[in-house]
Amino acid sequence: MTDGPTYGFDTLQIHAGAKPDPATGARQTPIYQTTAYVFRDADHAAALFNLQEVGFIYSRLTNPTVAVLQERIATLEGGVGAVCCSSGHAAQIMALFPLMGPGKNIIASTRLYGGTVTQFSQTIKRFGWSCKFVDFDDVEAVKAAVDDDTRAIFGEAIANPGGYIMDVRSIADVADAAGVPLIIDNTSATPYLCRPIEHGATLVVHSTTKYLTGNGTVTGGAIVDSGKFDWSANDKFPSLSQPEPAYHGLKFHETFGPLAFTFHGIAIGLRDLGMTMNPQAAHYTLMGTETLSLRMDRHVANATKIANWLEKDDRVDYVTYAGLESSPYFDRVKTVCPKGAGGLFTFAVKGGYDACVKLVNSLEIFSHVANLGDTRSLIIHSASTTHRQLSAEQQEAAGAGANVVRVSIGTEDADDLIADLDQALAKATS
């Protein structure tokens, strides 16, 4: 489904990348549970290894089931290609790997998934990389943070955990002026609610663990390339613009043009970092993508109803859902996420840390888990769990203070969820 008419999102989420299996006619994409693929002959093998022909060699690099998911996610995001990998965090490392080197830095939003803050503030230092965290609503501060060693700017369209919506276009302009790519983590929004490439993003990363799979079964990640960045415009990105010694001096950008980043992600990234998605995971995620828009519409409708109910409740201090009229991001949502502000928000409970712990313990339908984007409603007290490794200051900046819980609203009956929150808030604040 790459040529022909332009189909709508609901059609593409089911069909993009897939066709009946050529060997058997199987209508659903088979799970190609194989490690290796037989070469036609020795010349065919040599051509594959030289990247002169595209095909399947070994499942650390490519697998037909995973390839369908890659094409589907790339299509839904409006990119030219995608590489799937073993988790969202793997996707972030794989996105940065071709761009970075010792002494290079990235600029990231202060409002990010807690695990990402830890990855960027601690772990990447082991590679000699560093990160400057900046408030992305202060565009001048983002501009001022750019220096000669900056190689990327990174933010989340809908930021986890706090109901923050990033003005993607204003930061894309800063990245363009600096000659570096803007990477958007689109996990919380999904391509149904937000298409970052249309707002100027170069790369989009996903934790497919969340809404794309949709039911909490498998971990996975994806890196989508817009194909629009000129990797040879300056000397900042030698991995893409300069000869690659491990492929007989091949230059990825010159050879593969707009697909350079995607080919590099497979031929170097997966080959050498080995953060591969397995075909079983790809199968579950392909099943999930088929119903993405249906689920997201329900997540948004439920979240809107529940956020409005909570906001009027005396036991609640505030609710940070960008779909609420009281949100400072209510207008921005209409541009960045025209189909709604997602299913994720936080609220502050009167009674602080202890009340939050009691609330989490008293809920019946909501599960207390470190996940989001499930059909089930989920809750977590970020300060005692996902954001525990952060300083109090970082917790506040990330919207995860001690009195705040994060909910991922599922697709159950909204009235049942409200009744559950009502009884648990009664126990928490009595």
Ligand X SMILES: *Cc1c(COP(=O)(O)O)cnc(C)c1O
Start-to-end Cα distance in the chain: 58
Question: Any contact of residue 118 with ligand X (CB under 6 A)?
Answer: no
Q: Is 193 helix (H, G, I), strand (E, B) or coil?
A: helix
Question: Any contact of residue 219 with ligand X (CB under 6 A)?
Answer: yes
Whole-angstrom distance, CA of residue 426 vs CA of residue 430: 6
The interface region with ligand X, picked from 6-14, 44-52, 87-95, 265-273 by CB under 6 A, is 87-95
The interface region with ligand X, picked from 73-81, 109-117, 234-242, 272-280 by CB under 6 A, is 109-117
Among 89, 253, 332, 387, binds ligand X (CB under 6 A): 89
Phi and psi angles of residue 162, each rounded to the nearest 5 degrees, phi first: -105, 25
Smallest distance, Å, CB 154 to ligand X? 10
Smallest distance, Å, CB 430 to ligand X? 33
Strand 105-109 versus strand 130-134 pairing type: parallel
Residue of 182, 221, 185, 250 lying closest to 94 (CA atoms): 221
Angle made by CA atoms 322, 169, 205, in degrees to the nearest 5 = 80
What distances in angstroms separate CA 65 from CA 9, 39, 52, 417, one per listed residue?
Answer: 21, 19, 22, 36
Cβ-contact 409, 158 below 8 angstroms: no
Question: Any contact of residue 188 with ligand X (CB under 6 A)?
Answer: yes
Would you say 174 or 222 has its CB closer to ligand X?
222
Would you say 180 or 183 has its CB closer to ligand X?
183
Cβ-contact 264, 252 below 8 angstroms: yes
Question: Any contact of residue 196 with ligand X (CB under 6 A)?
Answer: no
Question: Any contact of residue 121 with ligand X (CB under 6 A)?
Answer: no
Binding positions for ligand X, 307-366, rule CB under 6 A: none
- Residue 124 backbone class (left: φ over 0; alpha: ψ -120 to 50; beta: rest): alpha
Among 98, 221, 269, 343, binds ligand X (CB under 6 A): 221
Q: Is 172 helix (H, G, I), strand (E, B) or coil?
A: helix
Question: Any contact of residue 113 with ligand X (CB under 6 A)?
Answer: yes
Among 137, 185, 374, 420, binds ligand X (CB under 6 A): 185
Cβ-contact 16, 22 below 8 angstroms: no
Would you say 189 or 414 has its CB closer to ligand X?
189
Question: Any contact of residue 374 with ligand X (CB under 6 A)?
Answer: no
Among 160, 320, 408, 411, binds ligand X (CB under 6 A): 160
Smallest distance, Å, CB 90 to ligand X? 7
The interface region with ligand X, picked from 52-60, 83-91, 288-296, 323-331 by CB under 6 A, is 83-91
Question: Any contact of residue 115 with ligand X (CB under 6 A)?
Answer: yes
The Cβ of residue 19 has, within 10 Å, a number of other Cβ atoms equal to 10
Smallest distance, Å, CB 156 to ligand X? 5
Smallest distance, Å, CB 220 to ligand X? 7
Question: Any contact of residue 276 with ligand X (CB under 6 A)?
Answer: no
Helix axes 414-428, 352-362, angle to 10 degrees: 130
On the CB side of 255, how many CA atoms lie within 13 Å of its CA? 19
Residue of 319, 335, 62, 374 lying closest to 188 (CA atoms): 374
Angle made by CA atoms 215, 302, 193, in degrees to the nearest 5 = 70
Question: Any contact of residue 116 with ligand X (CB under 6 A)?
Answer: yes
Among 105, 118, 150, 207, binds ligand X (CB under 6 A): 207
Q: Read off the amino acid at residue 163.
A: G
Residue of 63, 87, 67, 85 lying closest to 75 (CA atoms): 67
* Residue whose Cβ sits closest to ligand X: 88
Question: Any contact of residue 406 with ligand X (CB under 6 A)?
Answer: no
The Cβ of residue 136 has, within 10 Å, a number of other Cβ atoms equal to 26
Question: Any contact of residue 252 with ligand X (CB under 6 A)?
Answer: no
Smallest distance, Å, CB 199 to ligand X? 17
The interface region with ligand X, picked from 85-93, 101-109, 241-249, 316-324 by CB under 6 A, is 85-93
Residues that bind ligand X (CB under 6 A): 87-89, 113, 115-116, 156, 160, 185, 187-188, 207, 209-210, 219, 221, 372
